[in-house]
A = this chain, B = another copy of it.
Amino acid sequence: MSEIRKHYFLSEYCIIAEERAKRPSDFAGAGEDTGKSGYENCLFCGGAEENTPLATAVYKNGKIYADTPEKRVRNWDFRCFPNLYPALSPAPDSPEHRENGLRAEPAYGFHEIIVESPLHGRRLEDFSGSEISGLMQVYRDRTCSYMTREKVLYVSLFKNSGKGAGASINHLHSQLLALPFCPPLLTRELDVIRKKERCPYCAIFDKEKASPRMILENSEWIAFTPYSSVGPFEVWILPEKHVSSLGDCNDRILFALGEILRDILKSYGRVLGNPPFNYMFYQLSEAPEYHLNLRLLPRISVNAGFELGTGIYINTISPERAASYLRGDFTPEG
């Protein structure tokens, strides 16, 4: 059974995806290392292509290929394939149903893995300029590819890096979920944005460009710690040009995105010692009012009962101070 369920009375949703874990014993050991993080038997390594589902897209020397049942593409740069344990499926096994006024819909959608290097242990920080901009092009390409699918209304693209950030396999990769509805976080933002005269993100760009929270800028993007950061060292990366999704970005914008993203990851490494982290693209291809942004969150604090019970985040370092460390104004022990 895999289904999308709506909250009793709020516009909040869960995906029940039991294929991803089966017994309580799977949970009892959730805090322990599963041993899946090593190089041996890594499903994502170059050479292990037979151990994954058929690739949906394989990027190699700037061209796109696809696996066939007879032949897997080798010597790739980036490789995309369906998640073996998908939260969403193009052919969900559960029909729509209602139970006494409660709604559940089949968990329709796509869940893809984007492996970002055939080599185990590589890190985005060490990518060359052409490698990182190649990856940004893959992100754009996969976003656009799924947005044209029937019934897909949102594409969530994100990276979980490190066990503390929810990664179960320790080989450079990101994930993409294509959803049949717009997520509540985006809906809530869009409702407010549509009532404004000016795009709030354009206003944020102007405000933060000269603020004490600025970290880095290049020709197209700024990186800064947001004024109301939900956790220590949260960073937002925002394009100057009002674009709504990766699909609206030309190659020059993507190249600059890759550079600034790589530089922020380097600064995390320098200041925080390679913490587990997530990054998430916020984009709405179908809503020109929306302003694409990328958010990074090192997972170095725990959201506890207060955050869960109120939705208010306690942050133990001001974004101004975090930005000064990430800029390199001080050494880590300064």
Using a CB–CB cutoff of 8 Å, the interface residues on chain A facing chain B are: 1, 5-10, 12-18, 20-21, 23-28, 30-31, 87, 99-102, 154, 156, 158-160, 163-167, 175, 177, 179, 183-186, 188-189, 192-193, 196, 200, 203-204, 207, 211, 226-230, 232-233, 271-273, 275-276, 278-282, 295, 297-298, 300-306, 308-319, 321, 325, 332-333
Contacts and interface: CB of A to CB of B under 8 A. Distances in A.
Top 8 A-B residue pairs of the complex, sorted by shortest distance between their CB atoms? A166-B304, A158-B305, A280-B309, A183-B310, A21-B316, A185-B311, A166-B302, A278-B305
28 contacts: A5-B227, A9-B196, A9-B200, A12-B228, A14-B312, A15-B312, A16-B315, A16-B317, A18-B318, A27-B232, A27-B233, A31-B276, A31-B300, A99-B211, A100-B207, A156-B310, A159-B305, A160-B304, A165-B305, A167-B304, A175-B306, A185-B311, A186-B310, A278-B309, A279-B305, A280-B308, A281-B309, A297-B308
B156 A309 contact: yes
A306 B7 contact: no
Contact of A8 (B13, B227, B279, B295): B227
B314 A28 contact: no
Which of A31, A167, A306, A317 has the most chain B CB within a 10 Å cutoff?
A306
Given A17-B316, A27-B275, A30-B275, 10 more contacts: A8-B227, A16-B319, A23-B333, A24-B332, A26-B316, A30-B301, A156-B309, A163-B302, A165-B305, A167-B304
B311 A204 contact: no
Contacts of A233: 27
Given A5-B228, A192-B10, A160 B305 contact: yes
B156 A306 contact: yes
Indicate how many identical chains form the complex: 2
A303 B276 CA distance: 13
A5 B21 CA distance: 39
Contacts of A192: 9-10
Contact of A28 (B26, B308, B332): B332
Contacts of A276: 31
A267 to B, nearest CB: 11
A278 B301 contact: no
Contacts of A100: 207, 211
A290 to B, nearest CB: 13
Contacts of A25: 332-333
B183 A18 contact: no
Nearest to A101: B207
Contacts of A312: 12-15, 179, 183-184
Nearest to A195: B9
Nearest to A20: B316
A28 B311 contact: no
A314 B271 contact: no
